[in-house]
Structure formats: C-alpha cells, structure tokens
A and B are shown apart, each in its own frame.
Chain A
Amino acid sequence: MSESTPPRPSRAQEMYRSAPPTLREMVKRIVGYERQVQHMKNRVLPGAEGKGIHQALLEQIRSTVK
C-alpha cells in the first residue's frame, strides 16, 4: 500500500526552498526551538539556563538583523 515512488517535494517545501537564505535559516532555527519545547507545559529550552521560547525567538531575530 505505502510502497510506491518517492514523494515529490510538497508545495510547502518548495516555498521554503525558494525563500531567501537568511530568512530560511532563521525560520529553520525558530521552528527547531519550537519543536524542542512543543510537548512541555512551561516551554523552556532544555540546556539553555531556563530560557523561555519567546526569549529564544527574540534573540534569533536580533542575531539575524544585527
């Protein structure tokens, strides 16, 4: 049933790929942070001295546009 030709990139993947590299990198990191905390009630990044998700996102934006 599931054995078939490898799937083509989705439209979302194509959108991501065609975004400017700086934006792409920032989005990738931001979603990465979100993934680390998505199952937690208090969304604090593991191993980041209690840094909350919002602070992490803010710092990521600041470091992208210095």
Chain B
Amino acid sequence: MKIEQLIVENFRQFKGRKTIRFATAKGRNVTVIHAENGFGKTALLNALLWGFYGADGLTDDLPKKDFLLHESLLKKVRGGPEDQARVIIEFSDADERYMLTRTLTLAQQRDDPRKSELSLEIRRDDGTTIPIDSSRQAQLRIDYLMPRGISQYLFFNGERIDHLAMDRSSGEITDAIHQMLGLQLLQRTIDDLNHGNVRGQLNRELRDNTDDETATLIDRMEELNRSIAELHRRIETNKANLLASERERKQIDDNLEANKEARELQQERKRLETDISQLETSIKEYNHRIGALIAEQSFALFAEPLAVRGEEIAERLRKENKLPPKIHVGFVRDLLQNGQCLCGCQLKPGTAAYAEVEKWFAVAGDESLAAAVSLLDKSIGAIRVGAGTARLAIQGAVKDRAALRQKILKHQERLEEISSKLGSKDDDEVHELEEKREKLVLAHADLLAESRLLDRDVQEHKAELDAKKRELQDKQLKQEAAAKAQRRLKILDEAIDLLEAMLQAERDDLRTELGREIRRNFDEVKLKADHWLELTPEFTLKLLKRAGEGADEIDVAHSTGERQLMSLVFMASLVALARRRSEVPTIIQGLNGGEFPLIMDSPFGQLGEELRAGVAKWVPTLAPQVVVMVTPSQYQGAVEEELSAGGRVGRRYLLTYHAPSKPEKAKKSVLLDGKRYDQYYKSDVEHTDVEAIER
C-alpha cells in the first residue's frame, strides 16, 4: 500500500481544507513534515489513523478524543451538514487505487463521536469508479488491505515506542505479524474445510450410505469436530479477553505514570516487569540448553556407575596379580601342545614335567582379557571425563537458572512492595487505579490458566479424532456412494494436512527470518560494534553484548534512546519482511505479505546526535514509503545533513501555527536547509496550516 494524498478538513486544529501529497516514487520515497511540538504532528498522524479505522484507530496520546471537529465549529448551536470534520485519503494497493472519505458531523460528535461515516471507492485507470456498498463493507476492505492490528507498527509516535519491542504482549505482536504476512488466509481455509458445511456434509453423505458400525464412528467424529470448534471459539474469546485485559492494564500503567504521586514507583515497576519478562525468556533458553545437554551428554552420567564398577574389578585383578598377566594362557597351551618346554625338557601327558608346566594355567592371564581391560581403562577414562564435563555443564546451567529465578523472586517481592505502597497512597486516583490493576492482574492469571486448559483439551480431542479418521480411512466400504464419500473425505484430510504443515512451517520460519531481518537492520544503524539484537521466541527484543573472549553474552541495560531505536528496528524489519515476501513469486496467490508505508512522528526524539545521523541515513530504506514528522530542533544538524545527502526526500511540508499568542518555547520562524520560514502567525482563531516547501 502507498498513501498518495491526505486531505484534512476541520479535523482537530486543521481549519478548512488542507492537502498533503506524499512522496511515492522509488528512490525519492520520503516525505518530511516539519512542525514544532504542539503545531499538529500528532493530529496529522491521527487524521490518517482516523481515516483508516475511525475512533478505534486514534492513538492513546491524543487528548480529548471525543472532540474531532475544529473548535470554531463547536460554538454553533445547531450544526448543518457542512459543519463536519472530514478526512480523505487516496491510496493504492497492488494494481488498484482507492479513495476513502470519513466524516463526522457536529450533530454526530455531540451524539456519539465514535460513529463516523466512511465511504470507499475503487478508482480505475480509465476514470471509472466503483463504490463499495456500505460503510461496513468499506471498513472490512480497509481492514483487509491494512489490518488494524498492524497499524501500531506502521503509524507511530517515536517518542512513545520505547517499550514496544520489549513488551510482553506477544500474542498481539504475533497476531499482527501473521496478519502482515498473510498467514491468516491459511488458517481460515483450514477452518472452513473443517466446517460442518464442508467436512460435516461429506461425513453425512458417507453416513447415509454405510453400515451401522461406520455410522457410529462418523457420529463420534462429528461430535469431536463440534467440540473442537466450540473449544476454538472459547480460545478465541479467551484470547480477545487477554488482549483487552493487557490493553486495559497498559492504560492504567500509563495513567499511573502520568500521576506525579505514582510516577516514580510506576516507572520502577515498568522496569522490573520488563526485566522479569527478559529473565523468563532467559530461563526458557536455559531450559532448552539443559535439555540439549541431557540429550547429548547424559549417557556419560548414566554409564558412570558401570564404569566405576569396571574400574573396581580391574583394580582387584591387579591386586591379585592377575593384571597385567605375568604369563599368557596361550603360551602355556603352546608349550604343552608342542610337547617341549623352553628348557628343552620333553612334556608328555602324565609326566611330572607336564604337570609342572600345566600348573602355570592357574596364574596365567587371558590375552583377550588383558586387551579388554586395557580398552576398559581407556573407556572408563573417557566416560569419567565425559561425565565430569556433563555434570559441570548441567550443574552450571542449573545454577545459573536458579540465580535467574532468584532474581525474579526478588523482583516479584519488590513489585509486591510497590503495589502495596501505591495501594496505600493518599491520592484517590492512584488508590483506585492500583485497585483496578490488582483485579486485572488476577483476572489475567485466570485467563492464562484457562487458555492452557483449553489448549490441552483441543490436543486430546484432536488425537482421538485423528485415530478415528485413520480407522475410517482403513475401512473397506462396499457401496459405491460410500466409497466415493470416503475418497472425498480422504482428499479433504490430505488438503488440511498439507495446509497445516505449510502454516506450521511458515510460523516456525518466521522468527528466523524476522531475526535475520532485525540483525541486518541493526547493523545498518551500528549502535555499538560489539552489540547485537536478538529476537526471543516471544517476539520481543533483547540487546546483547559479548562479555569477553569466549564468554557468554550479557543482556545490556538500555537507555530510552536505545529502546526507541530497538523498537524502530523491530518495526522496520517487520515492514521489510512483509515487503520481501510480497516480492516472492508465490505458488498460492495470497500467501504473501504486502507493501506497507511507515509513518513516523518524531522518530529521532530520544536519540543522541550520533544515533540520529545513523537513523536518518537508514530511515529512507525502511519501507517503500516513509513519512517523517520532525521538529526543527530534531531536524537541524545530523538529520538534515543525512537526509539531504541521500537525496531520498521527495516532498516536504511545514505545519504553521496561527493563534492569538505564540507558544513560549516556539520561535516565530525556522531555518530549514539554509532558508528561513515563518512558522507562527498571529490570528484570532487558533488553527494549523500546511505549507509545501519547494525543493
């Protein structure tokens, strides 16, 4: 998808109609929008989000969400149809061009500001347009082209993303990634093939033409299918409740952080929770490592008692002077068989000389025993060394894991203290928020436990169903109609097996691919030479550093700027991966990702000068289309130099502020690329204008 044009009309501080055309050309794909803080960057970002998703799309940091119309319209007693906020977005996706219009009248805002009107039309190259039937259908089409779940990774405020890639809400992240890469299509196909109208119908056709025993088998399979479908429904509801509870908790956390009384403790809690999340990930890694060590090296530990016993036997034989043997059995046997001793004496059976030599058998040793004992010595040595190494490695890993658990316990103790401190604050708001939070945390734990139970039930039902399916496939059905229905069910199962295997492979490969993309992008910015980013199985990021020659990596504590950069890398990598997949000639149409734009408000906010330069150089390559909203102070210097040098900026705009008085911190004019522009104008009515900057 590429966004070609945005028109905002009476939306928030934009009074009248303002137009922004975005750069879309390959090689000149960056649009820069300059604006001081408070001049309308966030409103512009929200205009795009509101256009695409309505009230659900607005960002958390937008104040007074229920007031979307320009305030000059609010004074009217009765608004006419022309008194409305409107956002028009022209965009293209694959070979089609679209125009969406979202409106909210004054009357609607007063009644229910969430109820806006949306229209969407497809615009053909020959000038014809195809309108989408209804507001609901239009929203469905937009959600299909750019699912709302991924919008937070495409449209974001750089100063508020510092925890995004470190958050625990991995369910939301993996869902968004699957949406972005088109994997949900496969899941939906599998669900539809298993539906009562498809599999159920084929089962009924078979049942109607078969014997009682097979009919009973089919009935049980149908029953299992219904139970699995019901369990899946409950899992989905559970998942939605978990997401809602995560969001609600995040909102409470933000509110606590905004409260002076609670800020410090809440920030500490946030740090501890992030830390716990990373420690839990490390524990999982240790579990894998310990499992691998046991699988590969535990034979030495199990064989060690045997080796010890062997060693004892060998030792006893040595004490009894049987090892090493002074004379070999074979040598004594040869003398007796040859009938002559070494001294020349004849050895005939029954003679005293023969009996004398024969006595040597009692003290002679077996050659093969000697060889075996020598081999045993070597093997015992190897087993004992192996056991020692394995024991050390496993004990070391177990000890490290215990240390991590201990750390988590300490963090949890501190979290309880924080919770109790916040709960006993005099401030009513803090008290109330904390109480709500505690309830949410408990409810969340219950939901997680229920999820695990539901997953287990599904596995059990599926195992029984698979057994029944095999039983049915093996049946020799005589009637032609029944045999045909059986063959149809067989190919249906094969199709589902193939799709499930493909989906699993895609899911498994995704993390590796995304991890590779993240490393590649992180190298582009080069935060520090000995640092690297790792994607955890939960799709969160860890910043690691090599501790020393041959030593393990350590998890590095990061600054806000580093965390912001990590989140940027994460989102850029997602977009890049989706784009890469869209370029792969797919075997099944639709099983691919897509091209998405990146719209960033203040992406340089928390970064130091050096990092800003790196990010500015890298930003244009992030996505097929990039929009950067930036304050003059963030822009001047490294960002200005890098963006100009790259020649990737296709369009530039300046948001100018009109108000009775100038905000204290803002300057009247601003210097951009050596040219001065006015950015503040005195006006009775507060509003923001959009001015194009000529290249």
Contact between A1 and B186, CB atoms less than 8 A apart:
no
Provide the residues of chain A in CB contact with B501, threshold 8 Å.
Answer: 12, 15
- Contact of B189 with A by CB under 8 A: yes
Contact between B590 and A31, CB atoms less than 8 A apart:
yes
- Contact of B488 with A by CB under 8 A: yes
User: 1/0 contact trace for B469-507 toward A, CB 8 Å?
Assistant: 000000000000000100110011011001101110110
Contact between B188 and A34, CB atoms less than 8 A apart:
yes
Contact between A28 and B588, CB atoms less than 8 A apart:
yes
Among residues 490 to 539 in chain B, which have CB atoms less than 8 Å away from a CB atom of chain A? Answer: 491-492, 494-495, 498-499, 501-503, 505-506, 508-509, 520-521, 524
**Complex partner residue of A39 from B141, B189, B589, CB under 8 angstroms:** B141
User: 1/0 contact trace for A11-40 toward B, CB 8 Å?
Assistant: 111011101001100111011101100111
* Given A1-B521, A39-B141, CB of A12 within 8 Å of CB of B502: yes
Measured CB to CB, the closest approach of chain B to A9, in angstroms, equals: 8
Contact between A27 and B588, CB atoms less than 8 A apart:
yes
Closest Cβ neighbor of B494 among chain A residues = A23
Provide the residues of chain A in CB contact with B184, threshold 8 Å.
Answer: 38
Contact between A32 and B590, CB atoms less than 8 A apart:
yes
Contact between A35 and B590, CB atoms less than 8 A apart:
yes
Contact between B491 and A64, CB atoms less than 8 A apart:
yes
Among residues 28 to 54 in chain A, which have CB atoms less than 8 Å away from a CB atom of chain B? Answer: 28, 30-32, 34-35, 38-41, 52-54
Contact between A31 and B189, CB atoms less than 8 A apart:
yes
Contact between A11 and B509, CB atoms less than 8 A apart:
yes
- Contact of B280 with A by CB under 8 A: no
Binds A, one of B49-57, B197-205, B256-264, B639-647: B197-205
- Contact of B591 with A by CB under 8 A: yes
Contact between A39 and B484, CB atoms less than 8 A apart:
no
- Contact of B587 with A by CB under 8 A: yes
Contact between B498 and A1, CB atoms less than 8 A apart:
no
* Given A1-B622, A2-B580, A28-B588, CB of A34 within 8 Å of CB of B505: no
* Given A17-B587, A35-B590, CB of A53 within 8 Å of CB of B136: no
Query: How many A residues touch B, CB cutoff 8 Å?
Result: 35
Contact between B193 and A57, CB atoms less than 8 A apart:
yes
Among residues 172 to 198 in chain B, which have CB atoms less than 8 Å away from a CB atom of chain A? Answer: 184-186, 188-189, 192-193, 195, 197-198
Closest Cβ neighbor of B575 among chain A residues = A2
Closest Cβ neighbor of A20 among chain B residues = B494
User: 1/0 contact trace for B617-643 toward A, CB 8 Å?
Assistant: 010011000000000000000000000
Contact between B576 and A38, CB atoms less than 8 A apart:
no
Contact between A65 and B521, CB atoms less than 8 A apart:
no
Closest Cβ neighbor of B504 among chain A residues = A12
Give Cα A64 to B198, complex, Å.
Answer: 14
Contact between B502 and A61, CB atoms less than 8 A apart:
no
Provide the residues of chain B in CB contact with A57, threshold 8 Å.
Answer: 192-193, 198
Q: How large is the interface on B (under 10, 10 to 19, 20 to 34, 35 or more residues)?
A: 35 or more
Closest Cβ neighbor of B197 among chain A residues = A54
Give Cα A55 to B196, complex, Å.
Answer: 11
Give Cα A2 to B516, complex, Å.
Answer: 12
**Complex partner residue of A41 from B136, B197, B198, CB under 8 angstroms:** B136
* Given A23-B498, A34-B189, CB of A62 within 8 Å of CB of B488: yes
Give Cα A59 to B491, complex, Å.
Answer: 13
Contact between A19 and B193, CB atoms less than 8 A apart:
no
Give Cα A54 to B193, complex, Å.
Answer: 8
* Given A2-B579, A38-B144, CB of A31 within 8 Å of CB of B588: yes
Give Cα A23 to B501, complex, Å.
Answer: 14
**Complex partner residue of A34 from B491, B506, B590, CB under 8 angstroms:** B590
Give Cα A40 to B136, complex, Å.
Answer: 10
Provide the residues of chain B in CB contact with A39, threshold 8 Å.
Answer: 140-141, 143-145
- Contact of B661 with A by CB under 8 A: no
Provide the residues of chain B in CB contact with A55, threshold 8 Å.
Answer: 197
- Contact of B62 with A by CB under 8 A: no
**Complex partner residue of A13 from B494, B524, B587, CB under 8 angstroms:** B587
Kindly name the residue among B192, B487, B499, B621 whose own CB sees the greatest number of chain A CB atoms within 10 A. Answer: B192
Provide the residues of chain A in CB contact with B484, threshold 8 Å.
Answer: 65
Contact between A54 and B498, CB atoms less than 8 A apart:
no
Contact between A58 and B498, CB atoms less than 8 A apart:
no
Give Cα A15 to B202, complex, Å.
Answer: 26
Measured CB to CB, the closest approach of chain B to A32, in angstroms, equals: 6
Contact between B506 and A12, CB atoms less than 8 A apart:
yes
- Contact of B137 with A by CB under 8 A: yes
Kindly name the residue among A7, A57, A64 whose own CB sees the greatest number of chain B CB atoms within 10 A. Answer: A57
- Contact of B584 with A by CB under 8 A: yes
Among residues 594 to 634 in chain B, which have CB atoms less than 8 Å away from a CB atom of chain A? Answer: 618, 621-622
Provide the residues of chain B in CB contact with A10, threshold 8 Å.
Answer: 505-506, 509, 584
Among residues 195 to 217 in chain B, which have CB atoms less than 8 Å away from a CB atom of chain A? Answer: 195, 197-198, 201-202
Give Cα A61 to B145, complex, Å.
Answer: 29
Closest Cβ neighbor of B579 among chain A residues = A2
Contact between B197 and A27, CB atoms less than 8 A apart:
no
Measured CB to CB, the closest approach of chain B to A21, in angstroms, equals: 12
Provide the residues of chain B in CB contact with A7, threshold 8 Å.
Answer: 580, 583-584
* Given A10-B506, A15-B502, CB of A38 within 8 Å of CB of B495: no
**Given A2-B576, A15-B505, A52-B197, 13 further pairs, Cβ under 8 A:** A1-B521, A2-B621, A12-B501, A12-B591, A17-B587, A26-B491, A27-B588, A31-B185, A40-B140, A41-B137, A41-B140, A55-B197, A64-B488
A-to-B contact residues, CB < 8 Å: 1-2, 7, 10-13, 15-17, 19, 22-23, 26-28, 30-32, 34-35, 38-41, 52-55, 57-58, 61-62, 64-65
Q: Nearest 4 A-B pairs (CB), nearest first?
A: A39-B144, A35-B590, A54-B197, A12-B502
A-B contact pairs, 13 of them (CB 8 A): A12-B505, A15-B501, A19-B498, A27-B588, A31-B499, A32-B590, A34-B189, A35-B589, A35-B590, A38-B144, A38-B188, A39-B145, A61-B488
